Amino acid sequence: MSRSVWIFFWLSLPLPAADGFEDMVAPFLSKHCTMCHNAKTKTANLDLERLRDPRAALAERDVWETVIQRVKSGQMPPKGIPKATPEVTAAVVRWAEEHVATVDSERKVDPGRVTARRLNRVEYNNTIRDLLGIQFRPADDFPLDDSGHGFDNIADVLTVSPSLLEKYLEAADQIVRVALRTGPAPKAVVESYNLDKFGESKSVPADPEGERIVRKGSLVVRHRFPYEAEYEIRIAVRGPGNADDSTSRVAVIAGGQQVAVLDVETGADKKRNFEVRTQVPAGESEVGAALVFPGPVKPRQTPNISIPGGFYIDTIEIHGPFVKTAELPESHKRVFVCTEKTDDCARRIVSGFARRAWRRPVTPQEVDKLLRFVRMAKAEGDSFEQGIALAVKATLVSPNFLFRVERGAAGGTRELNSHELASRLSYFLWSSMPDEKLFRAAEEGNLQQPEVLAAQVKRMLASPKADALAENFAGQWLELRNLAQVNPDPKKFPGWDADLREAMRRETVLFFTAILREDRSVLEFVDSKFTYLNSRLAEHYNIAGIEGRKFRRVDLSTDQRGGVLTHASVLTVTSYPTRTSPVQRGLWVLENFLASTPPPPPANVGALREEAIGKAMSLRKELERHRADAACAVCHDKMDALGLGLENYDAIGAWRTKDGDFPVDAAGTLPGNRFFTTPAEMRKILMGDSETFARCLTEKLMIYGLGRGMASNDKPVLRSIAKKVAAEDYRFSSMILGIVNSPTFRMRKSDGGSSI
């Protein structure tokens, strides 16, 4: 609604909320705010000077939302500006909150409009997995999805390019070849890879719970497996060997993971050719062999060592696929629900598949269009199975599959129908299509009933598919995906390798999953008494008593760790390759924990003097010099305090007490004169701002679940959910149910027709 409309609206109403404005709020603004936020300076693009009378003030609901946030957090008034007494400040905040609540109560529900959402790469792969029951990831070859508002499932940025359309056609062909048996079983073939031709592997798949393997002497390649089937991996190990009869070990990799570990006799003239037969999913993945790291692992030991005896993997051969001729894959049976090869059978197959693929009932007219492909294939002399395969391809390249379509009535807002709600729910919690139980609830027409919806949410959160929230939501909210691109300086951090990188990621994913599965308080993301470690990560954290590469839950006895702010994953992605970045870390906390995004930096901001940091002066002192510029201090006072509070952790998350030649000083003061000296004390302060964190996490989940950014009309809903979550001990399920039950999630603004 425009500002002028709001002014007209308020002019027509009595002013119960105006009481106290002239004698309390206006003097507060004049004394503590308008010297910066006026028509001339307009600091932070905010002019409070124009709010001279109650009616003008009451028309500015969103302005008061900002005032509440800044004053309650202690950010305003800033240093150097006289502060009001706590009693006056509390009274002004209370007036603003009551005013905002009054405005919100008068507003009509506006759920916003969600553009038709294309399936992103993760959703496409997961949907194919659940639709056909195959572990095949064709979308890995699609162009990368763009991100908006921190997530890659935002409808407005998920465009469709000509190259992506070509990929959709290729993917449909590949899916049909993998999932359906339309001819004789494929014959086994042999493909060979030689070290002389392909060279030493630049990287090997990381598995912090498997054997630690080294790059030197390994041969790991990307190979496309055309079918999900058994394959035989043949390995030739070469090298002069040792004089004695000791052994080394070789890890065999197929489908991107370790499938076997073999003992290799290192004595001269010993046989070093091996075969491993294993089931491999269809698609492109790593295959090969790598030498196992010898002896115990030391925390800072480089992984690029030479194996005693000079061994190396010379050749690998892939034989397969080995498919039993009479055995039809499960994916084939899912499609061919009847085998009579009649028109009635074809209609039953096509309508059933389209219903699941398009995630809604299909009309007879839509089925007739798909059956044309079956008849066309038959007219050209193809088999019944080939005709069905053609109809399946057509189904998979239809916009009804590629997009999540929500059709609207003319004008106004409406409640989602059962199938639309089922899809919103499943792609929110599973990043995939609804299963049969959810389909059935939608078809029975009772999914909108609160008790039915709550039961479905509870069931879905308990499903292994809910791991998608950890991988996709947490992977982007906590920026875990960025770990793949992080490359710390090997001279400063010689112990860094792919295993440590993956161990960091796995700790955070397992921690998030525990909060989800055990329905724990979301405040444990801020501070907690447990985490997940294996020996490698425990050594990195200097936590004793953890043996073995398997991850296990660990109760924390030190306040050095607790909550995701102390996870090495988060600390690493918010650092530079050579040093920490208090600015990046502080910004990360502001955006992901406190729902506060500072304005962009002013032009011509000077850079830090990198050559002086750690030698001529500490990073803290250099930042203080930088902050001396008043234009920088506005944002950096709070941002730097939060980031410097994490300075006890180096650029890959290890605890330290010195930075170069200087002792680490993690003390800081947050707005409101909240002082801390350690990371643990800072976490306690953040825990005290629990409602802000709850509202921030609710907003992140809502953006992810809806596929759009938040607007001012969403703020009342977010605040309401956060208050309910606080009243229910901040349980994760309470937040999810609050989102799913909200009108924002269950309704849409219509646009006169299809959302495509």
Examine the domain organization and report whether 346 and 247 are in the same domain.
Answer: no
Q: How far is CA 598 from CA 75, 570, 636, 697, 716, in A?
A: 12, 20, 9, 18, 22
Question: Beta strand 273-280 with 229-238: parallel, antiparallel or unpaired?
Answer: antiparallel
Three-state SS for 79-136 is: CCCCCCCHHHHHHHHHHHHHHHHHHHHHCCCCCCCCCCEECCHHHHHHHHHHHHCCCC
Residue 256: per-residue pLDDT? 85
Examine the domain organization and report whether 305 and 208 are in the same domain.
Answer: yes
**Is residue 142's pLDDT more than 80?**
yes
> What are 238's strand-pairing partners?
312
In a domain, 318, yes or no: yes
Give backbone dihedrals phi and psi of 749, rounded to 5 degrees, phi first: -85, 125
In a domain, 558, yes or no: no
Examine the domain organization and report whether 313 and 336 are in the same domain.
Answer: no
Vertex 428 angle, CA 452 and 586, to 5°: 130
In a domain, 742, yes or no: no
Give backbone dihedrals phi and psi of 366, rounded to 5 degrees, phi first: -65, -40
In a domain, 51, yes or no: yes
**Would you place residue 681 in the very low, low, confident or very high pLDDT band (cuts 50, 70, 90)?**
very high
**Is residue 234's pLDDT more than 90?**
yes
Helix (H, G, I), strand (E, B) or coil at 567: coil
Residue 114: per-residue pLDDT? 82
Examine the domain organization and report whether 280 and 345 are in the same domain.
Answer: no
> What are 276's strand-pairing partners?
233
* 129-133, 199-203, 248-252, 339-343 — most confident range: 129-133
Question: Beta strand 283-291 with 219-225: parallel, antiparallel or unpaired?
Answer: antiparallel
Residue 438: per-residue pLDDT? 97
Tokens of 500: 């440590």
Which of 91, 106, 121 is at the close of a domain?
106
**Is residue 548's pLDDT more than 60?**
yes
Examine the domain organization and report whether 219 and 316 are in the same domain.
Answer: yes
Residue 69: per-residue pLDDT? 72
Examine the domain organization and report whether 246 and 345 are in the same domain.
Answer: no
Q: Which run of H or of E encompasses 572? A: helix 568-573
Residue 8: per-residue pLDDT? 41
**Is residue 682's pLDDT more than 70?**
yes
d(CA 237, CA 218): 10
Residue 454: per-residue pLDDT? 96
Domain range for residue 253?
189-322
Residue 18: per-residue pLDDT? 54
Residues in CB range of 293: below 8 A, 6 or more apart: 211, 212, 213, 214, 303, 305
Residue (of 52, 159, 61) closest to 102 by Cα position: 61
**Is residue 19's pLDDT more than 60?**
yes
Residue 314: per-residue pLDDT? 87
pLDDT, tens only, 291-318:
888 765 554 555 555 565 677 888 999 9
Q: Higher-confidence residue: 192 or 671?
A: 192
> Structurally, how many domains does the chain consist of?
3
Helix (H, G, I), strand (E, B) or coil at 473: helix
In a domain, 150, yes or no: no
Examine the domain organization and report whether 398 and 303 are in the same domain.
Answer: no
Contact yes or no for 679/83 (Cβ under 8 A): no
d(CA 272, CA 280): 24
Residue 270: per-residue pLDDT? 63
pLDDT, tens only, 438-447:
999 999 989 9
Residue 92: per-residue pLDDT? 82
Examine the domain organization and report whether 220 and 294 are in the same domain.
Answer: yes
Report the phi/psi class of residue 239: left, alpha or beta, with left for phi > 0 and alpha for psi in -120 to 50: left
Residues in CB range of 543: below 8 A, 6 or more apart: 533, 554, 558, 561
Helix (H, G, I), strand (E, B) or coil at 446: coil
**Would you place residue 546 in the very low, low, confident or very high pLDDT band (cuts 50, 70, 90)?**
very high
Examine the domain organization and report whether 228 and 277 are in the same domain.
Answer: yes
Contact yes or no for 423/433 (Cβ under 8 A): yes
Read off the CATH number of the domain in which 305 is found.
2.60.120.260
In a domain, 632, yes or no: no
Mean pLDDT of the 635-664 span: 88
Residue 632: per-residue pLDDT? 59
What letter represents residue 319's amino acid? H
- Range with the poorest average pLDDT among 64-78, 220-234, 542-556, 647-661: 64-78
**Would you place residue 606 in the very low, low, confident or very high pLDDT band (cuts 50, 70, 90)?**
low
In a domain, 39, yes or no: yes
* % residues pLDDT > 90 (the chain): 55
d(CA 524, CA 105): 32
**Is residue 641's pLDDT more than 80?**
yes
Q: Higher-confidence residue: 87 or 289?
A: 289
Which of 322, 345, 374 is at the close of a domain?
322
pTM of the predicted model over 0.85: yes
Residue (of 740, 115, 709, 166) closest to 403 by Cα position: 115
d(CA 528, CA 542): 18
- Range with the poorest average pLDDT among 127-141, 162-176, 203-217: 203-217
Residue 201: per-residue pLDDT? 64
In a domain, 299, yes or no: yes
d(CA 544, CA 538): 7
Examine the domain organization and report whether 203 and 284 are in the same domain.
Answer: yes
- Range with the poorest average pLDDT among 129-138, 166-175, 597-606: 597-606
Which of 288, 304, 322 is at the close of a domain?
322
Examine the domain organization and report whether 282 and 400 are in the same domain.
Answer: no
Examine the domain organization and report whether 307 and 201 are in the same domain.
Answer: yes
Q: Quick one: how far is CA 728 from the chain centroid?
A: 25
